[in-house]
Every structure is written in C-alpha cells, then in structure tokens.
Structure 1
Amino acid sequence: MRPARPAIQAYQDAAAAGSWPSSPWPRQQPAVQQAAPARSAAAASPAPPPPSPSPAAAQGQPGQRVRTYRGLSASQFMHPLDKQNTALLRALPGLELLARNFMGPVAEQVLMLENIGTSVLAGPDQLPSLHKLLTEAAGMLGMEAPDLYVRQNPVPNAYTLAIAGRKPFVVMHTALLELLSPAEVQAVLAHELGHLKCDHGVWLTAANVLALGTVSLLPVVSAAVEEGLLRWLRAAELTCDRAALLVAQDSRVVVSALMKLAGGSPALAGELSVDAFLRQARSYDEATSSPVGWYLRNAQTRALSHPLPVLRAREIDRWSQSQQYQELVAANLPRSTGGSGRGASAGGNPGGSGGGARFQG
C-alpha cells in the first residue's frame, strides 16, 4: 500500500504545479460527499433531504462567488451571544485593565517566543500554498493577513494571538494539515481571521491563557471570572465559524472540518458524512430539550473553551440558510457583464479547498 505523502509536501507540490488538488492525500475522498453505503441494507434506507441551495445556485449562477466583502464590519456577522457576553465582560470592573496590563503582556511574550522558536513561518517563499490560502481569506474579509506559523504537533489545532504593538499571528499544527482538505484548511484560517476582524483582542489573550494553560490566572481572578471568559470564548467561536463560512461560501466545508476535528482521520475521511453529522446534531438538541437534559448540557459545556462540535455544526448550518447570510453574500457578488443580476457560488474556494482561541472539536 502506497503511504500518503506528508501534508506540507503535498501543498508545495500543488503550488509548484500551479494547480490545487481536491485533497493532498491520495486515498482521501472529498469530505463534502456522502459516503458510499457499506452494506446492501443501506440502500433501503430513506435518502437524506437535499441541502438548502446557496444563493448562487438558487439564482442559477453557480460560477459566481464573492471575491471580497466590501466594507465588511464585524457587526454584520457577529453572533448575538458574542455581543451579549462581550458586554458582560466589559461590565466587570477592572477586568479589562487587568487583562491588558497583566495577563496580556505575560502571556503574549511567552506564546510569541515559544512559537517563533519552535515553528516555521509561512510566506511567499516558505510554504507558499498555505500562505496563499491565508492571504486570499484575509482579502475576502477586507483585512491585512497576519503571520502564519506551522508547528509540528500531533493534535489538530489552530489558534490566534493578537499582541499589543506587534503583528498578530496564527499558529497551525501539522496534524490539522494532515486531517483537512485545502478548502477546510482555508476555512480554519478564516475562522482565526474572524477573531482579528472582530477585535477580540484582549479577551482572546486572556481566554487563550486559560485554554492553553500557559499562565495560571488564579488567584488573580476568581473562578466566576474564568467561567465568564470561557463563556465568552465559546460565543466568540460561533462568530468566527461565520467568518469561515463567509470565505468558504459552502456550509458543508465548514461542517466537514468540524466533523473531522470531532472524530475524523485521514484514513476514514472518505466514509464521513456531513448529512449524518447534522442529523446527529439534531438528535443532541432533542436529547437535551428536557429540563434534566438542559441541566446536563450546561454541566457538560460550562468548563469548555469551545462549543460542542455538533452544536457548532448546527449553528453554522442554520446561519447559512438565514436571510442575514444570504443577503450579505448576494450584495457582494461581482456584477455580471450584462448587469442583469447577482448570485453566489455553491462551491468552495476554487483553488483549494478551508484567536482565535483554538479551532478544535
């Protein structure tokens, strides 16, 4: 059996050839396709309902896609829970001052030196294909691209740090490149860019301190404040998933990335089903709809830095069908040569495939 090529080498080969594979791993099938039935009995099962069409497909213009969101502001895609929890954090006396003057400088210096010393900085002449995915996503969101570091780590993960007075940077683990298709990698990068676009800044640094365990905040802040930071971070992740969708312009790309982070592997990628994962999300909603289920759900999530993967998948699937998203995409599509209409693409990024606290399952 021919072994899969290292992920970074596959990206470099694609860049040198001037083309993008649907996936850099020989045996991996596109994540957005429905897996083939494993048993004949599956043929008798009812087919899942077709996904909702994207704006472009609905308007009969499947070749168009947004190249940049003109004048995009964070308020146009920020999740309501993000707005609510940001306001709650700002209402806590002294917390923002503490985060800016104590948590931030210490954590930023530790994380900056750690990543510069142990990672590879991507650029036009170093991992150029990854650098291109980043700059394309940043251009679409109307922002300057941060630095991108690739770090050898067996845990699929990515995170962002915005350092006061310094250029922000994104860190991506090699395991993430081995797990995701190029479209999904770009969606992850767009997710991290969402933290910067939304100016999550000081709260993001403090939340990253908690999530990464770099510097203990206790006894400087109370457990209640730490819980509030984690609650804000979970809400901020929902906002940044929306940034990922704005770049991917295909909810199935974003859901596929979340699904793989929850329980995927390069060897099993061809057997994963986005539709089945969304059905799983609906099952979770039903199981937690009772008072006992609601209590258990809160107990399960209150100490997490990220929302549960199935809940993130459900949220982004719903937003992709919302009027807010549809209008945002339609308003930014390039004008047709005949000036007769607009539409959005049903596909992912043509070229490839997809602080942040961490983008993980």
Structure 2
Amino acid sequence: MAASLVSPMVPPPCAGFRRRAHGYGVSNNSTSLGFGFGSLSTTIPMTSKKHHRSRRRRRPRPRVGKLCCRGTPTASSSLVFRNLDADDFRHPLDKQNTLMLRMIPGLNELAKALLGSLTEQIMLLENIGTSVLVSKNQLSELHQLMNDAADILNIESPDLYVRQSPVPNAYTLAISGKKPFVVVHTSLVELLTRKELQAVLAHELGHLKCDHGVWLTLANILTLGAYTLPGLGRLIAQSLEEQLFRWLRSAELTCDRAALLVAQDPKVVISVLMKLAGGSPSVADQLNVDAFLEQARSYDRASSSPVGWYIRNAQTRQLSHPLPVLRALEIDEWSRSQAYKSLLKRAIQRNTVHNV
C-alpha cells in the first residue's frame, strides 16, 4: 500500500498495474500503487578544484556523501507531540470520506483477494532493487531528518530509500507483514531546503500515521478490477474512482497538516507546494511564499461564483491531489486555527513535564 506527500506519487511501474500518483505536488496519473509527495535529488560531483575554478560561476555543490539540499539542519528544539493521535490533526473531509469508504460492503474482503502476495512482492522488489537504502552510514543527514520527524509525530520511523528520477516526488509503500518504507526521488532533494525536505518526509509519515495506505491500495486495485468487467462493472468502477479521488484529495490535506506539525512554520510547507507547482533549483531563491498565497486567494475568489465553482469542480474532479494553491490556503488557515494552537500548547506542556 502506498501513499505520497507533496505531489502525486509517481513510483515505478508495477507489472500489469496502473498506479495513481499520490504525493505532495502536482496531480497526475501514473503506473504505480501508492501515494507520494514529491521527489528528491542528490548531486555528488567528483570534480577537482582546478577543474572547478575553470568553469563559470555556478551554485556550490556538496561533497561526496552530503545531501544536495539547501538550508540548515532542523533545530533540535522542535516541539515533540507525545501521545499524538491521528484524529488530533485529521482533516474533517478525510474523516468523512474514510467513513464513506468503510461503508462499501465487502471492500476489505474483496481487496484482499485481489491483492495477493505476488503483487506485493513485485511492488517491494521493484522499489528496493533500484534505490539506495538510507541509514546512519548511508546519507546519514537524510536518515536523521526522517528519525526526527518520526519522533515529533510519535510514530516508528520507516525505512527510507532514495531513487534516481528527474520527477520530484516522494511516496510511501506499506506491504503486509513488511516494514513500511518511503521512497524519495533525487530531484526533490536538489529542489528543496532541508526543512522543506523534512516537511515532505513528515507528509509521508502522516499517511502511515493515519493508515491511509490500506484504503489507497485497496481502492486502486478494486477500480482496476472493475474496469475489466463489462457494463455494470464499468459503472461501478467509475463511481468507485470518483469516491476514491475525493478521499485521496482529503487525505492529502490531512498529511499537509502532519508536515506543518513537524515544520512548525506554515511558510515551509507552503514553500514546498509552491516549488512543486513551478519551482526549479535555479530560481528557488527568487520564489516568494507571500506572493503565492495571494495568488491562492485570487484563485479562491475567482472560483467562488457559480460558474467559477463549476469550472473548479471540473478542474479537480479527476485529480488525486488538491490544487497546490488550494492546499496552500488550507494549511495557512489551519496554522491560524485554535485546533493547531491547542496542539502546540499541549506539546509545550507535555515537553515541559517530560524534561523536568
């Protein structure tokens, strides 16, 4: 079962299955069963100093073994949410649409029949056989970012892999009986600062914290299976797909909140969304979060009329992720909410007691 944070997940093709992209960035369809956030990228040049000086002035490159992401490490003073429960930050639409999925008769039983051990093994080997496993001895800074994010969200840290890809994305896979793992693409590391990268990892952890992987994978397989049926089967597939996509979009809003709980700065999360919508390493330092938020408010105003609402609904109906501008508005509003402030206050109180 897979899940993604920033942009719709774009994991590798999985023998015979079409997978929906599910992540922290732009929504699209792809050949994978999972959900993801964005992509990661590391650049490890091995250039002599003499050769480096002979080139035109370029952005500094990291040394071998260092992550190619900008910014300083996450501060060790970040609040830790002890005893955090998924429902403490779950988006109301996520709760509503999850209940709707649970009301589908026989969903779990049918999905278990469709998702066999062979399929899971293919998904597992396809990912870990073509990626680099992160550990304290391999990309140790990225390893620490994941462990710190997991501690803050009160969840066990999954395995983490880095996969070569020009598409910025990250996604999560949860296989029955196996330790879940997160895959990040190399291009995402290069695009984001360290705090932004950790926000992406936190988004992926949010999927695991909320058990999103179960519903995402089962619904994907059921939809694919229904499409092979004639007549009524296709109608069922279309109805299930619409319901699935409504759930996917709401699940992304929940996991953006998980990203904020770890980043503890809404501008960090919004910056990730902005960069996935239209950023690149060469212009990253010219992007403006406040301007992107104003753009989001303009879109919200323009789509509030009856005609605008219809266009907006048609625009998002077949997307696995909400539009980046809408996600930015959602996280900005939640960062100002009493619910978020209460979580911070509770964390401060419990951390104080714990440190006494």
Specify the TM-score bucket, using the shorter chain as the normaliser: 0.7 to 0.9
Report the CA distance between 1:191 and its aligned residue. Answer: 0.1
1:143 aligns with 2:155: yes
- Classify the secondary structure of the residue corresponding to 1:298: helix
328 and 292 in structure 1: CA distance in 2 versus 1, 3 angstrom threshold = same
> Which consecutive unaligned segments of at least 5 residues does structure 1 have?
25-62, 340-361
The SS at the match of 1:277 is: helix
1:79 equivalent in alignment to 2:91:
yes
1:197-236 to 2 correspondence within 5 Å?
197-206=209-218, 218-219=227-228, 222-236=237-251
Q: Which residue of 2 aligns with 1:295?
A: 310
CA distance in 2, matches of 1:173, 1:316: 24
Pairwise CA RMSD of aligned residues?
2.8
Report the equivalent of 2:57: 2
- Provide the TM-score with structure 1 as the length reference: 0.74
Which structure has more relative contact order (CA 8 Å, sep 6+)? It is 1
Identical positions, percent = 60
Q: Give SS of 2:304's match.
A: coil
1:199 CA displacement = 1.2
Q: Check conservation: 1:100, 1:202, Cα contact below 8 A.
A: no
Distance 1:178 1:78, change over 3 A: same
Q: Equivalent of 2:71, from 22, 38, 43?
A: 22
Task: Give the 3 Å change call, closer, same or farther, for CA 105–226 of structure 1 in structure 2.
Answer: farther
Gaps of 5+ in 2: 1-55, 230-235
Counterpart position of 2:298: 283
CA distance in 2, matches of 1:219, 1:65: 53
Residue 68 (structure 1) shift: 1.6
Is the CA contact (8 Å cut-off) linking 1:159 and 1:171 kept in structure 2? Answer: yes
CA contact (8 A) 1:82 1:239 kept: yes
Query: Is residue 2:270 matched to residue 1:261?
Result: no
Is 1:250 matched with 2:265? yes
Which of 96, 106, 119 is the aligned partner of 1:94?
106
2:195 paired residue number? 183
Match of 1:306 in 2: 321
Alignment of 1:61-80 (within 5 A): 65-80=77-92
Shift of the 21–305 alpha-carbon distance from structure 1 to 2, 3 Å rule, reads: closer
Q: TM-score, normalised by structure 2?
A: 0.76
Structure 2: distance between partners of 1:207 and 1:23: 40
Q: What residue is the counterpart of 1:354 in the other structure? A: none
1:36 alignment partner in structure 2: none
More off after superposition, 109-118 vs 253-262? 109-118
Q: How many residues align?
A: 292
1:134 aligns with 2:146: yes
Contact 1:259 1:309 in 2 (8 A): yes
